[in-house]
Amino acid sequence: YNSIIHPNVMGLLELLHDVTYEIIPDTEVHAELSFLKQNDKVAIANHNLIDVLNFIESETGKYHFIPHIQARSMKDKAELEGLLERLWNYDIDEIFVIAGDVEKPTGIYEGTSQLLEDIKEVSSGRYDFKIGVAGYPEGHPYLKSKQEEFENLRKKQATADYIVTQICFSSSDLIKYAKRLRKQGIDLPIKVGIQSIYDEKRLAKFVQKIGIKKSLRFIKNNRSMAILTVSGFFEKTFYK
């Protein structure tokens, strides 16, 4: 049937072929996972490392887990060493490193740059993690400017393997952001984060917390939508 499918649809299907599902371990998580297949990619977003590790242990062997490691929730290098060892022993070979939205760091890490350096040092000769980092099309409260973000991402290229864009509901803004990254010499593959079905009030509260004003306006102006998606044409060179 491929010959009768619109080219844009075929392109979308290709992009969705290697999708990663993001979940937060809670009482409803098993229902959310029930439709997934074995070895599907599942990112785990939670600042509580104990909850993350307990969840991975309870579901070992079922999915390709990608736990979030939040810099501002990490105590110190010793805690990082213990975490990486446990993840590797659980056959975890991919992690997503993010600053996190904790207002005051609980330990020595203000952001991801120093944490990435320590991950590289601790992993040397022992572990081989594939590492994702965040990209912010609409900015972030902890970033003073877009230029600061670009400078940070250029440094992270030495350690990271790809970028995942954070909440943004405009395909044109995403494309502009990707083009700006390339012009800034940032060549990491870019994966687009797409918000799925979600309670509107909870989503608006989260977006307001992290200071994404444009997306907050979008949510308030589109309250009746059951699902929020990103559509449009994405140049193949943005995704590898």
Query: What pLDDT digit, counting tens, does each position of 107-129 carry?
Result: 999 889 999 999 999 999 999 99
Whole-prediction pTM:
0.77
If we measure between CA atoms, which residue out of 67, 149, 68, 70 comes closest to residue 112? 70
For residue 230, the model assigns a pLDDT of 37
Q: Is the pLDDT of residue 10 over 90?
A: no
Read off the pLDDT band of 212 (50, 70, 90): very low
Task: Express as a percent the part of the chain with pLDDT over 90.
Answer: 39
Q: Is the pLDDT of residue 224 over 90?
A: no
The predicted-structure confidence for 24-65, as pLDDT tens digits, reads as follows 776 667 766 777 888 889 888 876 788 888 888 888 788 899
Phi, psi at residue 219, to the nearest 5°?
A: -65, -45
What is the overall mean pLDDT for the chain?
Answer: 77
Q: Is the pLDDT of residue 210 over 50?
A: no
The DSSP symbol for 37 reads P
The predicted-structure confidence for 139-184, as pLDDT tens digits, reads as follows 777 777 888 889 999 999 999 999 999 877 778 888 999 999 999 9
For residue 113, the model assigns a pLDDT of 92
If we measure between CA atoms, which residue out of 162, 153, 150, 148 comes closest to residue 190? 162
For residue 205, the model assigns a pLDDT of 54
Asked if residues 195 and 213 have their Cβ atoms less than 8 Å apart, the reply is no
